[in-house]
Amino acid sequence: MSLDLSHGFFGEVQYSTMTVQDIFAANFLTRAGLVQMQLPDGDLSMWFDRPVVALVKDAAPTTPRVEVTLRLFARLTGRDDEARVFITARGAIKDRKLTVDTTPRACPSVDFAESGPGDFTQTLTTNGAYDPFVLPAVKKTLQKEPFALGPLSDAGGKRFYRNYFDIPNRPEGMLVMFIAAFGEPPAPPTVPDRMFSSEVMLLVPDDLVNPAITRGLAQAGLGSLPAPLNPDVMVNTLQVSLQNGHIRIAGSGTKTTDVLGIPVDTDFTFAAFVQPLVDADGNVGIHVISTQQDLVGAGTAFADFLSAGALTRLMERILPEAIGGLSLGAINGLDFFSDETPGSGESAPARADSLPVIFVNGMGIRFDVNVGMPPEIMPPYIRGHLASRQFHIKGCEFGDLIGAANLRKFVTSDAALTVGYDGCSKCQPGFHVPEFGSLAIDVVHPPGVEPDQPVTVTATYAGDLVRFGVSLAPEQEKDVSNGTADVGGIPTNFLAIDNVVPADWTVTVACGAWSAETTVRVATRVLATDGTVTGERTQLTATVGKPDLVQVAP
């Protein structure tokens, strides 16, 4: 017997990086998916995407760490904008102690409490005005308490964590926990050998498995041989050994059969190869892979004892209790991980997989981890339509019809009003403005003048209107010709800009090195409730190569 399977420790647990990522993400989003803080400059709100977790390959492996990448939206009260921010943070992997139904439990967690300033980095921002607030707020959120990385397990023994890399088919590495039950623990290995593909796997060395089987034999009345199995069968020898892929049971016995009142003994030997199974309730059963038998003496009636069914009944008396009672001191095998958590987002429940893995030097117990990912919390937006220049609140049936190509998001209604949008007449009637303006620009393009150059038109707001207490500052509008049309033998470009604020606009037309510019008052048009439009477009005309851009009288 040895502790080779678990590198000299009484137990070893391997966590796949996918499991680590899922548990951290669920734990983090449950506790910090939406963070709101009161700051001197206003109330800061931060909405986090699902975070990304990576094991860190440090020069000091005795202090394993992880790096998390957080992506968030941030808003500050009193402002009509927001910031999209990416932050990376590194923290140490430590045990986190929790209690489940008065039972002490522990799980691997990432702790940022002792992380230094260099461990927190803002890698992207779309709005520098938020820089003084976001990074300190994220740091405060992360340092409040540790975040789980694995399922809750028995808290007994001394526990050590290591990150391992250079593992075949696992470029992202693997997190491993080593458990020392008593005494001075050995040093964890530096070479990443015997890494298995599973969500979570507990490795139990044969130094613990074999005594458990011995206890099971004793409980079944077979601890001291020869021993009667039943009134007719005596078991003389019995050996249970671990093999790669199965457990081998071999032995010999004597069957006594009454033949015409005369007891006749038949000696036999047998061998069976079995696989433990664990059902959904955690009960252990046995699957007989194959059997071997040899009879010495008379009496074919004895053959039933050697059938797979009879051997199954024999093994079901021995192995389930033995495997179910695997123990690492006070640490139970199949019950090593908790199938309950003390609260939403606190780690994740884990149950033993149906098929333990048998090795010649121990056993691997797979665990299925049930990670409940909370629903995504997104910041609320005012939805604007790029073509109609109207905005809608959540729940508006017309806002729901806006496709991705025409969708523009606003943080507040004031932000939408500022750039010239008005409210939907159904969901935002208080901000609805039926008046709008349209520009139509006809540009003659004589042959040989700026040949093969497209015609562009830009309109820059030059007014000073105030709507609903908001000073308007619409963005520059632009259109580009798709080619000329022949009008009476004259090549002409037809350009248009619709749904602008009826006010003063500076219009510039350009083609190659030529340009012309003028400021016009865009006329008011009105969209009636029945869908009809009154009012005319504001018409301009120009000729490429000539200086004037002229407004055409309606």
**Token pair for residue 365?**
């117990």
**Token pair for residue 244?**
């790669």
Would residue 157 be called left, alpha or beta, if left means φ above 0 and alpha means ψ between -120 and 50 degrees? left
> At 401, phi and psi to the nearest 5?
-85, -10
Cα 238 from Cα 251, distance rounded (Å): 4
Widest distance between CA atoms in the chain? 131
Cα 149 from Cα 27, distance rounded (Å): 8
Cα 343 from Cα 332, distance rounded (Å): 23
Which of helix, strand or coil describes residue 452?
A: coil
Residues of the chain with pLDDT under 50: 297-309, 329-330
How many Cα atoms are found within 13 Å in the side-chain-facing hemisphere of 19? Answer: 27
**Alpha helices (runs of H) in 220-336, residue ranges in sequence order:** 308-316, 319-324
Distances (CA, A) of 390 to 332, 393, 398, 453, 510: 64, 10, 10, 34, 29
A 10 A CB-CB count for 50 gives: 17
Is the CB of residue 137 less than 8 Å from the CB of residue 158? no
**Token pair for residue 239?**
């050996």
Write the DSSP symbol of residue 249. E
**Alpha helices (runs of H) in 220-354, residue ranges in sequence order:** 308-316, 319-324
Distances (CA, A) of 547 to 87, 314, 459, 483, 509: 53, 105, 17, 21, 10
470-471 and 477-480 as β-strands: parallel, antiparallel, unpaired?
unpaired
| pLDDT tens readout for residues 73-105 | 999 998 999 999 999 999 999 999 888 888 888
How many Cα atoms are found within 13 Å in the side-chain-facing hemisphere of 400? Answer: 6
pLDDT at 289: 81
Cα 541 from Cα 440, distance rounded (Å): 8
pLDDT over 90, % of the chain: 53
Q: Does pTM surpass 0.85?
A: no
| pLDDT tens readout for residues 308-364 | 445 556 666 677 766 766 655 445 556 788 887 877 667 888 888 888 889 999 988
pLDDT at 553: 86
| pLDDT tens readout for residues 132-160 | 999 999 999 999 999 999 999 888 888 88
